[in-house]
Amino acid sequence: MKKPLVIVTRKLPDVIETRMRELFDAKLNVDDKPMSREELTTAVQTADVLVPTVTDRLDARILSRSGDKLRLIANFGAGVDNIDLESARARGITVTNTPGVLTDDTADIAMALILAVPRRLVEGANVLTNGEFKGWSPTWMLGQRVTGKRLGIIGMGRIGQAVARRAKAFGLQIHYHNRKPIPKPTEEELEATYWDSLDQMLVRMDIISVNCPHTPATYHLLSARRLKLIKPTSYIVNTARGEVIDENALARMLEANELAGAGLDVFEHEPAVNPKLLKLKNVVLLPHMGSATLEGRIDMGEKVIINIKTFADGHKPPDRVLQAML
| Residue 275: CB atoms within 10 Å | 8
**What values do phi and psi take at 7, rounded to 5?**
-100, 125
Half-sphere exposure of 95 (CA within 13 A, CB side): 22
- Active-site residue numbers? 241, 270, 288
- 1 exposure class (CB count in 10 Å sphere: 0-12, 13-18, 19+): exposed
- The alpha carbon of 300 is separated from its chain's Cα centroid by a whole number of angstroms, namely 14
| Residue 135: CB atoms within 10 Å | 5
What does the DSSP 8-state code read for residue 282?
S
Q: Give bridge partners of residue 173 from the DSSP assignment.
A: 150
Strand (E) positions, the chain?
5-8, 25-27, 49-51, 72-74, 94-96, 150-154, 173-177, 192-194, 207-210, 235-238, 261-264, 283-285, 320-322
